[in-house]
Chain A
């Protein structure tokens, strides 16, 4: 029996097996021996801009912009972060305003405060922490694995952005000509909730005047 297996393997693409075995090895960046890249910003340091780092980040000062790390992101107590964060484990003990993506786990400690939308696999919020924003958890679509890239301003994006009010570019409306008034994708309202009176108040952003029929009637006559 073993000989037949050999025959099959060797007759089919003999060269393909060699690179495959090396590809199985972990990349050097994931080496757990402490050789991993790490950036530490103290309380008096400041970073404004965009940082993509293959490793861990620990922030203690003022940060504005965007931080994307393949490793863990830690925000110290005195830190003031006005940036979107992405990492594997994200640990917040300071002040963060911006969206957070944690491929593994987000922890907001009791001294931490977070304002922004959150996309995580696991979430821990300790008593005393402050948090406001949207939370999506659970089996993540591929979107999480990809590094966040600057997305074009889409018409359908407006309803999501407007909930936090800070990320909406002011000229977002002007870029939309009177042409294709394609209806935005189906709104994700849980069907069971439509009878709750509180639901109306919870989402004031939806009444933002996106009425396709008002626009469609204008060029007709």
Chain B
């Protein structure tokens, strides 16, 4: 009986500029603000910027940026991953992972290239080499 129509509250799509979607180098970009949070699975054709809180599973064709102060508990899969906040979970970077100087990452990672700046913290297993979609079975 209390079913509400969410449609009536949704903002028009074109208006989402600074948060929400914006285009860059041909790929869409999804930006979460510091007060946003996301729980669940996301497959996204574009870049994702995470500020705020995120939990779940993120598979992205573009890049993932985790801002300083952001807290992420998720499996991350992307081309380039740049972490300046806190991340807990496995991570798969098809190209490169950068851990900024205040980054905290705990989880097993599989990357092609890796750069860790002084001050970053990492706990987990590191595997380097070409990343196929989910690694090989055996």
A residues neighboring B (CB under 8 Å):
105, 122-138, 163, 190, 192-193, 196, 198-199, 201-203
Contacts and interface: CB of A to CB of B under 8 A. Distances in A.
A192 B118 contact: no
Interface in B97-138: 106-108, 110, 113-129, 134-135, 137
Given A134-B126, A201-B135, 7 more contacts: A125-B115, A163-B125, A192-B88, A192-B89, A193-B89, A193-B107, A203-B125
Contacts of A125: 114-116
28 contacts: A122-B119, A123-B120, A123-B122, A125-B116, A126-B115, A127-B113, A127-B115, A130-B128, A131-B114, A132-B127, A135-B122, A137-B121, A137-B122, A137-B123, A138-B121, A190-B88, A190-B107, A192-B73, A192-B88, A196-B89, A196-B90, A198-B92, A198-B134, A201-B134, A201-B137, A202-B90, A203-B108, A203-B125
B30 interface: no
A193 B118 contact: no
Given A127-B96, A198-B90, A202-B90, A135 B125 contact: yes
A123 B116 CA distance: 7
B39 to A, nearest CB: 12
Given A193-B90, A196-B57, A198-B75, A138 B123 contact: yes
Range for the number of chain B residues in contact with chain A: 20 to 34
B114 A134 contact: no
B91 to A, nearest CB: 9
Contacts of B128: 130-132
Contacts of B126: 131-135
Contacts of B73: 192
A97 to B, nearest CB: 14
Closest 6 CB pairs of A and B: A125-B116, A127-B115, A202-B108, A124-B118, A196-B75, A135-B122
A190 B123 CA distance: 11
A135 to B, nearest CB: 5
A202 B125 contact: yes
A113 B120 CA distance: 19
A132 B124 CA distance: 11
B121 A105 contact: no
